[in-house]
């Protein structure tokens, strides 16, 4: 299995599919799956290519989700090997996307192929949801496919997202949820004027200080068994004309919250507006919700994945919800149980991104064993 995975991973890495370009990765995958009797459906939206492939019928629907797009390479001269050459050195396969996530994508595909070959009449449905728009704006990828499937009443029961979740050693971390992320662009209004005539002006910086103090120190919640407490960070702040004798007319503050399931975006918005009103601040605020939090509780999928990892690696994984957002947030909206598991994330988005070949082989075995655990009894 390892050899097949590495070969496919190399073929994928050699296609320079910088987000949202797919560069033929999905055609390559579709051709392989079609040969095994998978039903192939293309769901393109604007520049983004999406693939929805299914084998079998009925429930449970076990889906593998992944992306073919990669982040830009950065300074190419800093790479030890050309980023799209898929060089193997010792146990390591190097290249942009090796760890995030063409390696695990290849492992998921080969695992599904092997399972279907051995069990052509398996229970339920095995599906693959593959997008080329995860790393950039993520507007025309998984989110649109999920909308389409929901409109049709199609279901996903269990979903494995192949994001690189492992931290120190393969199998040490499985993500069974993610925090939500919401950003506010806040404009606090004052009255511009001469610093020598403050009574004729209204300084928005001075007015905002007590509010910002309260905003940045407010305790939103205490987290939960799976989530750290919600955290608010001010990311950008700006006011002033650059001149030392002008009181500015407006203060701009941008802040982001990574929030857990103990609060909702509605509660957050309400509380911020309450604080603004309490401090008597004239303002305008724009919110941008990039993902609601989700949590997959202990259940059939988590057990199937944890057992598979234990069996293949001997390690008992920790369940975590940290890190940025992923496409799991969209699939969870379908009511699916969603977990993320994949190789080590130490080099993702960096120069000299790489993945252990042995780990890729084990990833494939784990994904395969997960199918056995979910579909064989
Ligand atoms: Zn990724």
pTM of the model: 0.85
Section 270-294 average pLDDT: 95
Please tell me the distance between residue 102's alpha carbon and the centre of ligand 1 in angstroms.
Answer: 9
22 is catalytic: no
Burial of 168: CB neighbours in 10 Å, binned 0-12, 13-18, 19+: exposed
Instruction: Look at residue 172 in the predicted model and tell me its pLDDT.
Output: 96
| Strands of the sheet with 231-239, listed across from one edge | 231-239, 250-259, 180-189, 283-291
Q: What single-letter DSSP state applies at residue 83?
A: T
List pLDDT tens digits, range 331-346: 999 999 999 999 999 9
Instruction: Look at residue 291 in the predicted model and tell me its pLDDT.
Output: 85
* 98, 238, 311, 318 from 169: Cα distances, Å: 16, 42, 15, 12
Please tell me the distance between residue 109's alpha carbon and the centre of ligand 1 in angstroms.
Answer: 16
Please tell me the distance between residue 163's alpha carbon and the centre of ligand 1 in angstroms.
Answer: 5
Token pair recorded at residue 7: 């070969």
Mark the residues whose beta carbon lies below 5 A from ion ligand 1.
100-101, 163
Token pair recorded at residue 308: 């598979």
Q: What's the rounded Cα separation, in Å, for the pair 86 and 6?
A: 10
Instruction: Look at residue 136 in the predicted model and tell me its pLDDT.
Output: 78
Instruction: Look at residue 324 in the predicted model and tell me its pLDDT.
Output: 75
CA-wise closest residue to 115 among 30, 27, 56: 56
Please tell me the distance between residue 142's alpha carbon and the centre of ligand 1 in angstroms.
Answer: 12
Task: Enumerate the H helices of 50-102 as residue ranges.
Answer: none
Please tell me the distance between residue 71's alpha carbon and the centre of ligand 1 in angstroms.
Answer: 9
Please tell me the distance between residue 103's alpha carbon and the centre of ligand 1 in angstroms.
Answer: 11
Compute and round to an integer the Cα radius of gyration of the chain. Answer: 24
Section 265-292 average pLDDT: 96
Token pair recorded at residue 315: 């390690």
Checking if the pLDDT of 233 tops 80, the result is yes
Strand partners, 360: none
Q: What's the rounded Cα separation, in Å, for the pair 174 and 318?
A: 6
Average pLDDT of the residues of the chain: 95
CA-wise closest residue to 68 among 92, 100, 36, 41: 100
Section 270-276 average pLDDT: 98
Please tell me the distance between residue 164's alpha carbon and the centre of ligand 1 in angstroms.
Answer: 7
* Residues 324, 325, 326, 331, Cα dihedral to 10°: 150
Checking if the pLDDT of 138 tops 90, the result is no
Instruction: Look at residue 299 in the predicted model and tell me its pLDDT.
Output: 93
134 is catalytic: yes
Checking if the pLDDT of 325 tops 80, the result is no
Section 351-355 average pLDDT: 95
Instruction: Look at residue 22 in the predicted model and tell me its pLDDT.
Output: 92
Percent residues over pLDDT 90 in the chain: 90
Instruction: Look at residue 47 in the predicted model and tell me its pLDDT.
Output: 86
Catalytic annotation, pick one of 22, 87, 134, 250? 134
CA-wise closest residue to 205 among 197, 195, 196: 195
Q: What's the rounded Cα separation, in Å, for the pair 107 and 113?
A: 10
Catalytic annotation, pick one of 23, 69, 100, 140? 69
Section 105-110 average pLDDT: 98
List pLDDT tens digits, range 26-44: 999 999 999 999 999 999 9
Please tell me the distance between residue 245's alpha carbon and the centre of ligand 1 in angstroms.
Answer: 48
* Residues 215, 217, 221, 222, Cα dihedral to 10°: 170
Section 149-167 average pLDDT: 96
Please tell me the distance between residue 69's alpha carbon and the centre of ligand 1 in angstroms.
Answer: 8
Checking if the pLDDT of 294 tops 80, the result is yes
List pLDDT tens digits, range 117-132: 999 999 999 999 999 9
Q: What's the rounded Cα separation, in Å, for the pair 155 and 159?
A: 11
Strand partners, 255: 184, 234
Please tell me the distance between residue 191's alpha carbon and the centre of ligand 1 in angstroms.
Answer: 46
List pLDDT tens digits, range 55-83: 999 999 999 999 999 999 999 999 999 99
List pLDDT tens digits, range 168-226: 999 999 999 999 999 999 999 999 999 999 999 999 999 999 999 999 999 999 999 88
Taking each continuous run of H as one helix and of E as one strand, the counts in the chain are: 9, 19
Please tell me the distance between residue 124's alpha carbon and the centre of ligand 1 in angstroms.
Answer: 27
Question: Residue 134 — very low, low, confident or very high, per pLDDT cuts 50/70/90?
Answer: confident
Instruction: Tell me the three state secondary structure of residue 157.
Output: coil
Sequence-ordered strand ranges (E) for the chain: 39-42, 50-56, 61-67, 88-89, 92-94, 125-131, 158-161, 173-175, 177-178, 180-189, 193-194, 231-239, 246-247, 250-259, 283-291, 294-295, 318-320, 337-340, 354-356
Q: What's the rounded Cα separation, in Å, for the pair 157 and 371?
A: 13
Cβ atoms of 130 and 50 within 8 Å: the answer is: yes
CA-wise closest residue to 371 among 7, 67, 56, 132: 56
């Amino acid at each position: 299995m390892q050899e097949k995975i590495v070969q496919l991973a190399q073929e994928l890495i050699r296609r320079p599919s910088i987000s949202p370009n797919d560069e033929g990765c999905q055609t390559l995958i579709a051709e392989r799956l079609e040969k095994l009797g998978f039903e192939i459906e293309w769901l393109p939206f604007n520049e983004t290519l999406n693939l929805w492939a299914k084998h079998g019928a009925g429930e449970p629907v076990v889906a593998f989700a992944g992306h073919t797009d990669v982040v830009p390479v950065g300074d190419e001269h800093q790479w030890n090997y050309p980023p799209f050459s898929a060089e193997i050195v010792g146990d390591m396969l190097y290249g942009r996307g090796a760890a995030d996530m063409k390696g695990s994508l290849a492992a998921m595909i080969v695992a599904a192929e092997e399972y279907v070959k051995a069990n052509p009449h398996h229970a339920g449905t095995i599906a693959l949801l593959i997008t080329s728009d995860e790393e950039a704006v993520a507007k025309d990828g998984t989110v649109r496919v999920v909308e389409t499937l929901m409109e049709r009443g199609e279901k996903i029961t269990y979903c494995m997202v192949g994001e690189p979740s492992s931290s120190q050693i393969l199998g040490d971390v499985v993500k069974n949820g993610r925090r939500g992320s919401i950003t506010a662009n806040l404009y606090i209004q004052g009255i511009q004027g001469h610093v020598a005539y403050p009574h004729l002006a209204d300084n928005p910086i001075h007015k905002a200080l007590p509010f910002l103090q309260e905003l940045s120190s407010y305790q939103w919640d205490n987290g939960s068994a799976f989530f750290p407490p919600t955290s608010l960070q001010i990311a950008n702040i700006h006011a002033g004309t650059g001149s030392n004798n002008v009181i500015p007319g407006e203060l701009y503050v941008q802040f982001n919250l990574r929030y857990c399931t103990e609060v909702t975006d509605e509660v957050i918005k309400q509380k911020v507006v309450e604080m603004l009103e309490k401090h008597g601040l004239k303002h305008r605020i724009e919110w941008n919700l990039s993902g609601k939090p989700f949590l997959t509780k202990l259940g059939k999928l988590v057990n199937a994945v944890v057992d598979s990892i234990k069996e293949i690696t001997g390690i008992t994984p920790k369940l975590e919800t940290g890190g940025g957002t992923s496409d799991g947030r969209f699939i969870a909206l379908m009511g699916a149980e969603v977990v993320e598991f994949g190789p080590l994330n130490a080099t993702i988005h960096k120069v000299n991104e790489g993945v252990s070949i042995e780990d890729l082989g084990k990833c494939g075995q784990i994904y395969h064993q997960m199918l056995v655990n979910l579909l064989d009894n």
